[in-house]
Structure 1
């Protein structure tokens, strides 16, 4: 804070010698200790959005022959920010999204600045398409890591486990991170398949990391790459919901094998069409009970009702013994 006040109050460039003599905390430090502390303080101010300018030439108010520092009004002042309620809500959702990643500190600082300007930031505004807790569900341990490698144009490697298939190692040149609802997808060039592929972030086992033997910036994102088109065309988008099923022991093995997670008798099975899955569930009789979602529960009930009515028209139980 003392450094900020001193540089804001100065009329011109302030020398290193002046800082060392005039600011509490810098006095009595040798050159090496001053450099370390000054670097830390500059970095802290930078994280707050305040940049310290450096210049080797000085005006009449500075010490000749020494590097000078200052914080100008342009470096310090923040212009007016005018956000609609929906835009403010989107900012709040984005900040909550980042809260579980390596960027949590920066997002919190951004919110603090905006609230200091008198902006009301509420992520419950209508029309955003996010339900309660959606932002935290979007946050993923690999999100910030993947974003870093995309920005650095670094190829990555990871183990990917798609339901119903064996895990495989993927080598990818990442292009973009995209979200749909509360799911996040990593899109890029699959080096082993020699084609563009989409990977759901929560299906990556463990951590993703930089691919050995590759240099940063050694690939380009194709000029005709359109993120939303790629996402819509991906087979990963076929899954739109998760069924919560109770499966009796040693029964309904095809469903059991497709489960993406298991907790005792409770199995989570991903599906794209409720009616199709309902027909399969009904085929297993009392071996499978549907807990959710409600859409699937209703689809199973409707399917059973249709079968009951069909049997009644054909002669009820007698048809089963024919």
Structure 2
């Protein structure tokens, strides 16, 4: 933003020497470090639709003897936007969909800017469709969704704690590439730094918040030219069939399960799982603090697991810990 403001405020071409001395973040850098950071910043602005013009000759307002940079009104100005009635209706419905989510303020600002250009968004045309502002909108427009979208646009590496059913939580360091949704489920795709490969993460399985990875600068990684989000998602293990378990848990017990709940129903919680045997083993480890209400497959898996544990304890002559 400092670079954008400085170049927009300048009356002419601005030299690299001036940029290095006048902009926070550039001061004190040597030529190589400046070129690297300046290139990243130019690329970030380019992704925002703002191009920095470069030329070797300077006008009367600029330094002499160095390459100059500027952002002209033509480079910065927003192009005319023309929407058909159907497209305007789609924009209005989308804004309504996001209105009660973390993206509500941004969508409202977008509508204001479009109206300022003279675009009529009041008419949705024939067959007006009302946006669904229920659970799907709230899931898609969660805090982590908005945060992930910001980091993707800024090309900032991030970190977060990820808890996949049946596995221990792990700290993930990710160079985010894209967000995709399937129904009301949102997936974050990118390069897993520790695993050294592309990975997909279901956003609802992120524990806590997404945060910017320390020691990394915006725009310091590239999204591969051959990256195909839909192909990556369809081939991901995160797309494995997910089932829901309805559990009744004694107060102040089995906190790891409670933290994984996706919603509550009456006096029970709902958690997701992909492997009944793995979840059954976890449930049994909490003794009688957890009761499985459904599905029947999981109820049977837990009963079988408890029977196996009881028989093993009997053979060993030990106390039945399941009733502890």
TM-score, normalised to structure 1's length?
A: 0.51
- Please tell me the root mean square deviation across aligned C-alpha atoms, in Å: 4.5
Deviation of the 1:105 alpha carbon: 2.0
Q: Which of 193, 210, 213 pairs up with 1:211?
A: 213
Alignment CA distance shift 1:91-1:164 (3 Å): farther
Distance in 1 (alpha carbons) for counterparts of 2:123 and 2:238? 42
Q: Which of 76, 82, 94 pairs up with 2:85?
A: 82
**Equivalences for 1:1-322 in 2 at 5 Å?**
79-83=82-86, 88=89, 92-93=93-94, 95-97=96-98, 99-101=100-102, 103-111=103-111, 113=115, 116-119=121-124, 122-123=129-130, 132-246=134-248, 260-261=260-261, 266-272=268-274, 288-290=291-293, 296=295
Does the 8 Å CA contact 2:245/2:298 hold for their aligned counterparts?
A: no
Does the 8 Å CA contact 1:174/1:186 hold for their aligned counterparts?
A: yes
Residue deviations 1:293-318 (CA, integer Å, cap 9, x gap) = xxx57x899x9xxxxxxxxxxxxxxx
Residue deviations 1:111-168 (CA, integer Å, cap 9, x gap) = 57476442255335xxxxx795321222211112111111111111122222232222
Alignment CA distance shift 1:271-1:91 (3 Å): farther
Deviation of the 1:109 alpha carbon: 4.3
Distance in 1 (alpha carbons) for counterparts of 2:298 and 2:144? 36
Does the 8 Å CA contact 1:248/1:265 hold for their aligned counterparts?
A: no
Which 10-residue stretch deviates more, 214-223 or 92-101?
92-101
Alignment CA distance shift 1:90-1:79 (3 Å): closer
Q: Unmatched 5+ residue regions in structure 1?
A: 1-69, 125-129, 304-322
Distance in 2 (alpha carbons) for counterparts of 1:80 and 1:89? 10
Based on CA coordinates, which of the two structures has the bigger radius of gyration?
Answer: 1
Distance in 1 (alpha carbons) for counterparts of 2:199 and 2:79? 44
Residue deviations 1:270-295 (CA, integer Å, cap 9, x gap) = 2358xx78xx79xx9x985536xxxx
Does the 8 Å CA contact 2:85/2:123 hold for their aligned counterparts?
A: no
Q: Unmatched 5+ residue regions in structure 2?
A: 1-72, 301-324
TM-score, normalised to structure 2's length?
A: 0.51
Distance in 1 (alpha carbons) for counterparts of 2:235 and 2:226? 15
